[in-house]
Amino acid sequence: MSKVLPFRGLLPKREFVKEVASPPYDVIDSDEARRRTQNNPNSFLHVIKPEVDLDPSINPYDPLVYQKAKENLSALISRGVLYQLEKPCFYIYKQIMGNHQQTGLVACVAVDEYLNGQIRKHEHTQEEKVRDRINLIQTLNAQTGPVFLIYRNNERLSGIFQQCTQIKPIYDFVADHSVRHIFYVIDNDELIQNFQEAFEEIDYLYIADGHHRSEAAAQVCLLKRAENPKYLGNEEYNFFLAVIFPHSEMSILPCNRIIKSLNGYSTSELFIEKVQQRFSLNPMETEFFQPTEPHIFGMYIDNKWYAIKLKDEHMSFSNPVESLDVSILQKYLFEPILNITNPRRDKRLEFVGGLNSVQKVKQLVDSGKFALGFSLYPITIEQIMEVADAGLVMPPKSTWFEPKLLSGLVTHLLD
């Protein structure tokens, strides 16, 4: 049983939505955010990456940054760029990228269901990143970025979504990567009740993306409960902002890897000989190589691609995480050959996700900044749910979801 709650969203006025809507805070760096906001005072990046309005020398975790976020959000409201709905509503968020479409419910979900495991996770969080989101939520008294959730397909919910998308959308526009974003406000009481009753049939929700936002919302909730021991449970801080999609509509891209050095191997030939002890190698006469099946990896070194595969004698896995391609690469190549024992912290390892990531891998290795790169077959949504159901976690940067959910289309105020 999953609880979903309508809420009084803070939305952009229709004429400002293309200016306000921005990429999530964690997919662009501060320099790119500054470029994007230079001639756009209405960009939501002023709220979720407020360092763009301060001297670049200031630490992005400085208290001044969060205060600037509060000033910027207040300014967007006072200028009439953002407004709050009078009635608690649900919202439908539809995205179209080429031939791919995905349609999700924008709602608040219960912190208690996150804490008790009904909202399941598959990644560890980093304390610094969680603290950053805690500080932003506390300073704004608002949740600005939705958590990306999924549920196992449900026929009843499919029918309700179909009904809702017959309504005239409030927004319909095209943004980065030619992705079309369509947004509906659902204020009909019957439809709201239908969604709530249908989600009561859903046993578990799964975090696809947004583990740090989920954890930060939960920590803020616990802090507010401690300050208010007589809390009722229906206060806004007991819930967090999410967009919930059926699992079959997900599009997952690979998150590829690049390595800065060969761990002391004097030549690439010596390194390749070491790799061949555990993997079969096939040279590929192609400019780019992205695997089309699991357990095959692309390895790019010295201007050449190889298709590599772990030898059969090593193909024995005891749990869902061990069978993931990212785990195989870590266990049998990164750790024993490159001495990368902690992929979260080793500065020699970087991740390249998103559209055209295999081209980016080749470009970065060809530039000389990196010694080699790896392309992977993407993890499936079924694997994510299997790992989460087993109570396990994936290695860092195992997944990359596209299209990304834009920020600024709706904000959840905790007042």
Range of the domain at 74: 4-251+402-413
Are 73 and 98 part of one and the same domain? yes
Give the CATH number, domain containing residue 261.
3.30.1760
The stretch 295-301 carries a mean pLDDT of: 96
Are 154 and 57 part of one and the same domain? yes
- Whether the per-residue pLDDT at 42 is higher than 90: the answer is yes
**Cβ-Cβ contacts under 8 Å for 39 (sequence gap 6 or more):** none
Q: What is the pLDDT of residues 227-269, one digit of tens each?
A: 999 999 999 999 999 999 999 999 999 899 999 999 999 889 9
Q: What is the pLDDT of residues 74-129, one digit of tens each?
A: 999 999 999 999 999 999 999 999 999 999 999 999 999 999 999 999 988 889 99
The pLDDT value recorded for residue 156 is: 96
Nearest of 319, 290, 300, 318 to residue 378 by alpha carbon: 290
On whether residue 393 sits in a domain, the answer given is no
Contacts 24+ apart (CB under 8 A), 70-77: 70/139, 70/140, 72/46, 72/47, 73/47, 73/140, 73/142, 73/144, 73/411, 76/20, 76/42, 76/44, 76/46, 76/47, 77/10
Are 107 and 60 part of one and the same domain? yes
pTM for the full predicted model: 0.91
Are 167 and 41 part of one and the same domain? yes
Length of the chain: 415
Are 188 and 292 part of one and the same domain? no
Number of domains observed in the structure of the chain: 2
